[in-house]
Amino acid sequence: MGLKSKHETRRQNRPVIEALEGRIVLSTFRATTVTQLQADIAAVNNTSGPNTILLKPGVYVMTSALQIQNAGNLTIRPSSTKSATGLVGSVVDRVLEIEGGSVTLSGLSISGGGAVAQGGGILAQNASLTLKTTKVFSNITSQSGAGIFTQGGTLTLQSSTVSNNRSSSSTLAFGGGIVALDTNVTITNSSVSENSLYAYNQQTLGAVEASGAGIFAEGGSLTVTGSTLSGNTVYAVTTGTNAATSGAAISTQQTPVTVSKSTFQYDVLNTVSYGVASTQGSVFATNGGSLTLLNSTLGKNTPGGIRSFFHPSVTVTITNLNLDGHKFSGTLNP
């Protein structure tokens, strides 16, 4: 057996090329730098796939958002799981912006996104987005959805984490970890924890409101199974006369919600005002839609007990709930 030439070795690392309906589609890429990753994403945009981008383990520091557009059946994952692989935004832009298509992020961390109003970590519009064993953390926005912001399409989290993301505003802040508008969301064996919202105004004496530090959903649907939402915290502070907080873990508008085999703890509402201070639903704030809760545990949330719920127009259906150490099944009426 002879030694392979350098030219032959390099050829092994090039993308695999397949014919698809008269076009040439690059199906497998290997990136070791941000520049290569950007070029690979440009190559798979507006193709039907399947495409895979394999990242050499390490840290990829972005100076602008990675733009994924109409990439069909695209997977981005490390080439090896022996070391961590992170996409870092350096707080100069969001990390990923996804428009259309079907994208799976597997085995990655996404952090450091900022300098945007929505979607510090990931902004997805009309896309099918799946996160597998992926962590979205330490992203910030000036209004909502610091970790993930989706509009339309689907969002699926499998064995993933959304944590320590922060959205803040001088008037209205919502969805510190995840915002999902008209999106069908499925969260399984995952954690949405330690996310925070700040609506803070000491300048104009105006009203402030903050809702859904963990998840904020409007329209679409939300299913949470075998997951943990803990330590999500909402702050509404004003020197004016009106401050309102709600739904530290989950806040929904006109969304059917089903939660099973999940744990909610240490989710907290903090409200400070010289006039009216409204604090409603430390775990769930449900406006319209529905809420069904099965075989789950709520404990050590603030405020606790029945004040873990705020459901002004919805009957909450509960089966086998452990609420602050007490078993409960039945309904909570508006």
Q: Read off the pLDDT of residues 146-172 as tens digits, 9 standing for 90 and up.
A: 999 999 999 999 999 999 999 999 999
**Out of 22-26, 62-66, 75-79, 136-140, least confident range:** 22-26
pLDDT mean across residues, the chain = 92
Residue 266 lies in a domain: yes
With beta carbons less than 8 A apart as the criterion, state whether 169 and 204 touch: no
pLDDT of residue 201: 87
Residue 1 lies in a domain: no
pLDDT of residue 4: 39
**Residue 59 clears pLDDT 80, i.e. is over it:** yes
Residue 33 lies in a domain: no
pLDDT of residue 26: 55
For the chain, give the percent of residues with pLDDT over 90.
87
Which domain covers residue 149, as residue numbers? 57-332
CA distance linking residue 59 with residue 298, whole number of Å: 37
Average pLDDT over residues 196-223: 93
SS3 category, 227: coil
Residue 21 lies in a domain: no
Average pLDDT over residues 261-265: 98
pLDDT of residue 15: 46
Which pLDDT band, with edges at 50, 70 and 90, does 219 fall under? Answer: very high
pLDDT of residue 102: 98
Measured in degrees and rounded to the nearest 5, phi and psi for residue 9 equal: -65, -45
With beta carbons less than 8 A apart as the criterion, state whether 195 and 229 touch: no
With beta carbons less than 8 A apart as the criterion, state whether 143 and 173 touch: yes
**Polymer length in residues for the chain:** 334
Residue 35 lies in a domain: no
Predicted TM-score of the model (pTM): 0.91
pLDDT tens-digit readout, 35-49: 999 999 999 999 998
With beta carbons less than 8 A apart as the criterion, state whether 75 and 101 touch: no
**Residue 267 clears pLDDT 70, i.e. is over it:** yes
Which pLDDT band, with edges at 50, 70 and 90, does 227 fall under? Answer: very high
pLDDT of residue 12: 38
* H-assigned helices in 126-285: none
Tokens of 256: 């059917």
Average pLDDT over residues 136-152: 98
pLDDT tens-digit readout, 83-99: 899 999 989 999 999 99
Which pLDDT band, with edges at 50, 70 and 90, does 203 fall under? Answer: confident
Which pLDDT band, with edges at 50, 70 and 90, does 9 fall under? Answer: very low
Residue 271 lies in a domain: yes
Residue 67 lies in a domain: yes
Q: How many domains does the chain have?
A: 1
pLDDT of residue 210: 97
Amino acid letter for position 108: L
**Residue 139 clears pLDDT 80, i.e. is over it:** yes
Residue 150 lies in a domain: yes
